[in-house]
């Protein structure tokens, strides 16, 4: 039995500048190449190289509707990809760059400005006035190499996130930061190192080293708890600003840790009990300074700390829902509807009115606000999409899955997929095209688009088919426009065309709206995909336990909870599905 080992040492993070050559993203026989390690955990359909990706990941759903190719073919693409990545990565970093760390020489003010202009407004793990004073050497730079690592990572993130091209000028800066990280640093513990490790983890995920980032997050969490960031001590002689910085670091780390956990569909490791630290206050930096002796009142407008406060409270409210979704037995529609209405409903009712879903925020906060809403919709897609899968499989067999609760779960998933696709399309049309925005847009868009994809493949003559086609075409158009700043876009575009291309031909304008360099499958009539329900359900095994043969899966599962859910009350489907 294979395991989930992975090696990301040679993943350079280089972008492919030839975004116009969409066909170059395919393998020689015309299929989309399967061996991909991506930070979104949406394209990695092979269990090797990518680490464990569970039931709630985007890759899981993709495995159901588009299983990976034979092992022999994967092995050749793995070795070829490693060779190419190693050769690309070794040629990109100036050999003399790291002779001596010198942030005054290597880091430009514009890089720092870029970091605080965009990334900081969502993830304020660093106090901007303090860091700028340290960077300018107005005050001392604390903790030696730890601060240097932090400075180089901030500069790298600033360049990467605000870039509007596929250039990779951030790589030498990050390599400098990484060169200063050593095992000896783990024998120390300070707030600066927690900040640095946390930012390194998120940068690595964005640069398609998800498991490396996951490990750095674990180090940061352990060190943070070792520093007591999860506690507030009564009578503690600490200034309001220092206490507030500790809160911001803790809850930004929370957002990254739980966000990555859901992305990869792994068990929650964030502590659920014993957390006694308040959420960050919603104040502007000018209202809370090093000279402040008391806490100021919170402001009723968006600040740099609104987004992390909202997202942290979202995760604290919904962790129990996610934990239930990835557990056995799979929850019923009635249970999920109750959890959704109770916990997500309460969070939505209590979100600050100036950051609510439908409000307009100051333009500089558009990205932070949009991502919060995309994340909310994405979790609802994740919890309800098994009911979409089951209904799609039933439709192939002419069966019905129409309990009131199941139908409501199905409709909620379709609604959130539609709203996500439209919301991302509108955001991208109206806002700056940065790498950071493109990364999140592609992640949430691709997961949402798989919902109409699986519906259209199985029910191409449904009354809703025209709407599904419209959503998929809108997705393809948006993904095409993401390509100048996201090198994963061409592959996502091709995956969707591979899944649904022939079903889009029913639209009379499809030929004009599809990318000229992409050839969908030939029209084969509007009949469902030529895979039996049994075949599609068998693929669920590789979604749940991707390295376990189907005939062994019942031993691993210990019971048939998941498959019983998908079979539901369909005796015919249950009869043909023998394990």
Predicted confidence (pLDDT) per residue in 330-353, tens digit = 899 999 999 999 999 999 999 999
Q: State the average pLDDT over residues 265-284.
A: 93
Give the per-residue pLDDT at 517: 46
CB 44 within 8 A of CB 92: no
SS3 letters for 358-394?
CCCCCHHHHHHHHHHHHHHHHHHHHHHHHHHHHHHHH
- Pair (483, 373) in one structural domain: yes
Q: State the average pLDDT over residues 279-283.
A: 98
- Pair (330, 401) in one structural domain: yes
Give the per-residue pLDDT at 107: 82
pLDDT at 195 over 50: yes
Q: State the average pLDDT over residues 419-435.
A: 98
Confidence of residue 562 (pLDDT cuts 50, 70, 90): low
Give the per-residue pLDDT at 56: 53
- Helix (H) / strand (E) element for 443: namely helix 435-458
Domain boundary among 209, 242, 267: 267
Confidence of residue 81 (pLDDT cuts 50, 70, 90): very low
Q: Is residue 172, in this structure, part of any structural domain at all?
A: yes
Confidence of residue 513 (pLDDT cuts 50, 70, 90): very low
CB 466 within 8 A of CB 422: no
SS3 letters for 523-553?
CCCCCCCCCCHHHHHHHHHHHHCCCCCHHHH
Q: State the average pLDDT over residues 570-577.
A: 41
Give the per-residue pLDDT at 525: 52
pLDDT at 367 over 50: yes
- Pair (194, 316) in one structural domain: no
Q: Is residue 300, in this structure, part of any structural domain at all?
A: no
pLDDT at 257 over 60: yes
Confidence of residue 253 (pLDDT cuts 50, 70, 90): very high
Listed as own residue / partner, the contacts of 531-536 with beta carbons closer than 8 Å and 24 or more positions apart are 532/396, 532/576, 533/393, 533/394, 533/396, 533/397, 533/573, 533/576, 534/573, 534/576, 534/577, 536/64, 536/65, 536/393, 536/396
Give the per-residue pLDDT at 366: 98
> Is-cis flag, bond preceding 329, omega within 30?
yes
pLDDT at 100 over 70: no
Q: State the average pLDDT over residues 189-196.
A: 97
Q: Is residue 427, in this structure, part of any structural domain at all?
A: yes
Q: State the average pLDDT over residues 412-438.
A: 98
Give the per-residue pLDDT at 392: 85
Give the per-residue pLDDT at 511: 44
Q: Is residue 257, in this structure, part of any structural domain at all?
A: yes
- Pair (361, 244) in one structural domain: no
Q: Is residue 88, in this structure, part of any structural domain at all?
A: no
Q: Is residue 95, in this structure, part of any structural domain at all?
A: no
- Pair (116, 174) in one structural domain: yes
pLDDT at 549 over 50: no
- Pair (332, 230) in one structural domain: no
* Range in 72-76, 108-112, 235-239, 435-439 the model is least confident about: 72-76
Q: Is residue 93, in this structure, part of any structural domain at all?
A: no
- Pair (210, 332) in one structural domain: no
Average pLDDT, the chain: 80
Give the per-residue pLDDT at 557: 37
Proportion of the chain above pLDDT 90, given as a percent: 61
> Is-cis flag, bond preceding 238, omega within 30?
no
CB 540 within 8 A of CB 562: yes
d(CA 482, CA 500): 20
- Greater pLDDT, 417 or 459: 417
Q: State the average pLDDT over residues 549-578.
A: 44
- Greater pLDDT, 437 or 523: 437
Give the per-residue pLDDT at 505: 76
* Range in 201-205, 253-257, 332-336, 552-556 the model is least confident about: 552-556
Q: Could you list the residue range(s) of the whole structural domain that residue 199 is in?
A: 106-267
Q: Distance of alpha carbon 76 from its chain centroid, rounded?
A: 28
- Pair (114, 209) in one structural domain: yes
Give the per-residue pLDDT at 506: 54
Give the per-residue pLDDT at 235: 84
- Greater pLDDT, 108 or 216: 216
pLDDT at 229 over 80: yes
pLDDT at 106 over 60: yes
CA neighbor of 462 nearest in space, from 532, 403, 518, 388: 388
CA-CA-CA-CA dihedral for 444, 328, 578, 456, to nearest 10: -20
Give the per-residue pLDDT at 529: 59
Confidence of residue 328 (pLDDT cuts 50, 70, 90): confident
Distances (CA, A) of 567 to 133, 170, 218, 389: 62, 49, 38, 11
Contacts of 90 (CB under 8 A, 6+ apart): none
Confidence of residue 161 (pLDDT cuts 50, 70, 90): very high
pLDDT at 576 over 80: no
DSSP state of 567: H
pLDDT at 187 over 50: yes
- Pair (242, 357) in one structural domain: no
Confidence of residue 447 (pLDDT cuts 50, 70, 90): very high
Give the per-residue pLDDT at 522: 40
Domain boundary among 233, 267, 301: 267
Give the per-residue pLDDT at 82: 44
- Pair (134, 252) in one structural domain: yes
Give the per-residue pLDDT at 233: 87
- Pair (228, 168) in one structural domain: yes
Q: State the average pLDDT over residues 422-429.
A: 98
pLDDT at 575 over 60: no
pLDDT at 492 over 50: yes
Give the per-residue pLDDT at 541: 39
Q: Is residue 87, in this structure, part of any structural domain at all?
A: no
- Greater pLDDT, 68 or 492: 492
Confidence of residue 91 (pLDDT cuts 50, 70, 90): very low
d(CA 427, CA 68): 33
Q: Could you report the per-residue pLDDT of 376-399, keeping only the tens digit for each?
A: 999 999 999 999 998 888 776 667
SS3 letters for 4-45?
CCCCCCCCCCCCCCCCCCHHHHECCCCCECCCCCCCCCCCCC
d(CA 8, CA 201): 13
Q: State the average pLDDT over residues 216-241.
A: 94
pLDDT at 88 over 50: no
- Pair (440, 553) in one structural domain: yes
DSSP structure string for 316-357: HHHHHHHHHHTSSSPPPHHHHHHHIIIIIHHHHHHS-GGGST
pLDDT at 375 over 90: yes
Confidence of residue 528 (pLDDT cuts 50, 70, 90): low
Number of structural domains the chain divides into: 2
CA atoms within 13 A of residue 455's CA, in its CB half-sphere = 26
Give the per-residue pLDDT at 181: 93
């Amino acid at each position: 039995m294979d395991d989930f080992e992975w090696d990301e040492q040679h993943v350079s993070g280089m972008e492919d500048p030839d975004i116009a050559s969409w066909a170059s993203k395919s393998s020689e026989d015309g299929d989309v190449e399967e061996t991909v390690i991506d930070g979104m955990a949406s394209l990695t359909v092979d269990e090797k190289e990518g680490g464990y990706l569970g039931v709630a990941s985007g890759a899981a759903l993709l495995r159901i509707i588009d299983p990976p190719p034979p092992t022999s073919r994967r092995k050749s693409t793995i070795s070829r990809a490693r060779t190419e990545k190693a050769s690309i990565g070794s040629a990109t970093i100036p050999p003399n760059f790291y002779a001596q760390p010198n942030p005054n020489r290597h880091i430009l003010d514009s890089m720092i400005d870029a970091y605080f202009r965009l990334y900081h407004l969502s993830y304020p793990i660093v106090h901007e006035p303090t860091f700028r004073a340290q960077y300018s050497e107005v005050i001392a730079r604390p903790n030696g190499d730890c601060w240097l690592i932090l400075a180089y990572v901030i500069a790298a993130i600033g360049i990467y996130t605000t870039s509007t091209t596929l250039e990779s000028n951030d790589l030498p800066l990050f390599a400098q930061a990484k060169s200063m990280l050593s095992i000896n640093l783990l024998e120390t513990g300070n707030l600066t190192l927690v900040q640095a490790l946390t930012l390194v983890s998120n940068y690595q995920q964005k640069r398609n080293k998800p498991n490396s980032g996951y490990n750095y997050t674990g180090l940061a969490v352990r060190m943070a708890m070792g520093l007591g960031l999860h506690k507030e001590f009564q009578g503690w002689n600490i200034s309001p600003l220092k206490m507030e910085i500790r809160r911001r670091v803790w809850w930004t780390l929370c957002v990254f840790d739980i966000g990555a956990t859901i992305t990869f569909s792994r068990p929650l490791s964030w502590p659920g009990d014993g957390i006694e630290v308040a959420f960050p206050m919603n104040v502007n930096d000018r209202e809370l300074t090093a000279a402040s002796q008391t806490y100021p009142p919170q402001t009723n407008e968006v600040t740099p700390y609104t987004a992390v406060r909202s997202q942290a409270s979202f995760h604290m409210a919904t962790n129990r829902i996610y934990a239930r979704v990835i557990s056995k037995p799979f929850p019923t529609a009635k249970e999920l509807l109750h959890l959704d209405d109770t916990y997500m409903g309460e969070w939505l009712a209590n979100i600050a009115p100036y950051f609510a879903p439908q409000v307009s925020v100051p333009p500089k906060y558009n990205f932070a606000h949009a991502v919060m809403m995309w994340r909310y919709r994405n979790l609802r897609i994740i919890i309800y999409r098994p009911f979409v899968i089951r209904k799609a499989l039933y439709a192939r067999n002419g069966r019905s899955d129409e309990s009131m609760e199941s139908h409501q779960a199905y409709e909620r998933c379709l609604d959130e997929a539609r709203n996500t696709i439209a919301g991302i399309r509108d955001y991208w049309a109206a806002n700056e095209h940065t790498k950071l925005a493109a990364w999140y847009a592609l992640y949430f868009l691709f997961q949402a688009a798989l919902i109409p994809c699986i519906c259209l493949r199985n029910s191409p003559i449904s009354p809703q088919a025209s709407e599904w086609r419209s959503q998929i075409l809108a997705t393809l158009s948006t993904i095409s426009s993401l390509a100048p700043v996201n090198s994963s876009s061409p592959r996502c575009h091709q995956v969707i065309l591979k899944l649904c291309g022939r079903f889009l031909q029913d639209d009379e304008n499809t030929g004009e709206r599809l990318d000229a360099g992409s050839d969908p499958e030939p029209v084969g009539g509007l009949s469902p995909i030529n895979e039996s329900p049994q075949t599609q359900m068998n693929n669920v095994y590789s979604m749940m336990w991707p390295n376990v043969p189907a005939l062994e899966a019942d031993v691993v599962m210990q019971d048939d909870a998941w498959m019983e859910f998908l079979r539901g009350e369909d005796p015919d489907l249950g009869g043909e599905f023998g394990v």
